[in-house]
Chain A
Amino acid sequence: MTALLSMEGITGGYGDADILEDVSLHVDPDEIVVIVGPNGAGKSTAMKSVFGLLTIRAGRMLFDGDDITVWAPNRIVQRGICYVPQVDNIFREMSIHENLEMGGFLKKGDLSAAYDRVYTLFPDLKERRKTLAGSLSGGQRQMVAMGRALMLDPKLLLLDEPTAGLSPKYMEQIFQICRDVRDTGVAILLVEQHAKQALAFADRGYVLAAGKNRHEGSGADLLADREVAEMFLGG
């Protein structure tokens, strides 16, 4: 099977400083892939590099047959990758429904199928569709953020630490939603700080440290790897 997204030897960063050094990874269709690693390892940066948000000095990014290395974010969105930032990922002063509408901004014509899809995944949101997004709890905000990103029917969803600051109950719920989303045919690449839980739930994982690839494998394999356990997972 050819990979949906493949990142080949990416080196780059913000401005002149390189944060990523020769990072390679790939995501297959219908797969949840997680990037874990210590703080400052370049996890979020690796994700942002997909979205054209940093200066790439070497390597290339292939998505679904296109070389998207130098594409502008709005073109990448239209091509089928949606990105949920870690913070400030909702429109606080707009209702849940309006957040979704903005998510589907680029879609021409009727949005009702897209609303249905998102509201089926997040029934809680449908009940509260008129509520201002800024007044919701952290877990619900994350759902709005993911819902907004799903409005354009992406092939790949990028999630930057979706469970940061959430209670274990919500963390489990977000992971379950990720599985549901994957089952609708959307691949997911996410960055996680809760490495143990994330590796246990993801199909595959990458361990990044100091801006470089260190380990890769299935979630279970990485969890069982002694070196990975010692380095990042607190024994």
Chain B
Amino acid sequence: MEFLELINFYVIPGIVLGSIYALGAVGITLIFAILRYAHLAHGDLATLGAFIALAVVTGLGVSPLLALPIAIIATAAVAVGIDKVFYEHLRERPKIVTVMASLGIALMIRAVVQVVWGVDTETYSRGIVRPENYFGLRIRDREILTFIAMIVLVGGLQLFLTRSKWGKAMRAMSDNPNLALLSGIDNKKVVMLTWIIAGGLCAASGVFLGLNTELKSMMGWQMLLPMFAAAILGGVGRIEGAVLGGLIVGIAEELSVLVIPSEYKAAMAFAILLFMLLVRPTGLLKGKVL
């Protein structure tokens, strides 16, 4: 096979898919680092974000990109609300209780999406978009947009975590929760910030998946495993690791089609997840061990 063909048909779609996974994986890794549990409703929260954007696109007649900020804010608010109504009451219980509760939340969110928007496949815009040709590289505008948006959002988060007082407080809480409390850092505010960020990134992940493929009520749930694989591959608690992990899982999934039937594409993420947990549970960038 020709090199350009490999890039055009496998690597570029892999990077786009990987960017979408990365947006979700960053939230998963952040929740792991600060709240110390696996949040299984992460995928369905992304679905909700995608459909909220759809409502804005069809309701106001604007482009998905303009709908994105609204979807981010709305989904962040939903995430904070879910935490207040459900997870907050389970904080003192064993973590597995919250993990199971988040599975229930996932089903609830999906049910709401199915009741409001139905179970049919939807799209933000009809018609086929032809890729532009850049010296033989065939890339669609929305693909460039997805990648750039991911870099901007994650880069912004990284700046927030390293430069701002509350960002540093989040890192402190992840690093040493007891000492953070002894320093007088308000645990509740840090938790709320975590949900605002994770919820917002979830919405972005869902909107870009919808933009590059189509909207289905199961779209987020099907992303959950690859997003977890990405977070663990990169190293739990590592933002840049989640991005790296997301890109690797996305590209690996696309490339796997060359050797295994495409129906088994999703098994690739599972294989990466298992392999990392067995061989190097701290991930590529040395994160926490769960």
Contact = CB atoms under 8 A, between A and B. Distances in A.
A130 B175 CA distance: 17
Interface stretch (B84-92, B136-144, B164-172): B164-172
Interface of B: 165, 168-169, 171-172, 175-176, 178-186
Interface of A: 51, 73-74, 77-78, 82-83, 85, 88-94, 98, 101-103, 105-106, 148, 152
Contact of B179 (A78, A90, A152): A90
Contacts of A74: 181, 184, 186
Contacts of A103: 183
A74 B179 CA distance: 11
A134 B112 CA distance: 46
Given A91-B172, A101-B165, A105-B183, 14 more contacts: A73-B181, A77-B183, A82-B182, A83-B182, A91-B171, A93-B171, A94-B168, A94-B175, A98-B168, A98-B172, A102-B168, A102-B180, A102-B183, A105-B169
Q: Rank and list the top 5 A-B pairs by shortest CB-CB distance, nearest first.
A: A106-B184, A91-B175, A74-B184, A77-B184, A102-B172
Nearest to B175: A91
A148 B178 CA distance: 14
Of A91, A93, A101, chain B has the most CB atoms within 10 Å of the CB of A91
A102 B178 contact: no
B178 A78 contact: no
B163 to A, nearest CB: 11
A73 B179 contact: no
A80 to B, nearest CB: 12
Nearest to A107: B184
A88 B179 contact: yes
A77 B182 contact: yes
Contact of A91 (B165, B179, B184, B186): B179
8 contacts: A73-B181, A88-B176, A91-B180, A94-B175, A98-B172, A102-B169, A102-B183, A148-B183
Of A77, A102, A103, chain B has the most CB atoms within 10 Å of the CB of A102
A98 B175 CA distance: 12
A102 B181 contact: no
Contacts of B185: 102, 105
A88 B183 contact: no
B182 to A, nearest CB: 6
Contacts of A85: 178-179, 182
Contacts of A89: 179
A73 B184 CA distance: 8
Contacts of B182: 51, 73, 77, 82-83, 85
Contacts of A92: 175-176
A94 B184 contact: no
A82 B182 CA distance: 8
A152 B125 CA distance: 56
A103 B165 CA distance: 12
A93 B237 CA distance: 11
A202 B185 CA distance: 32
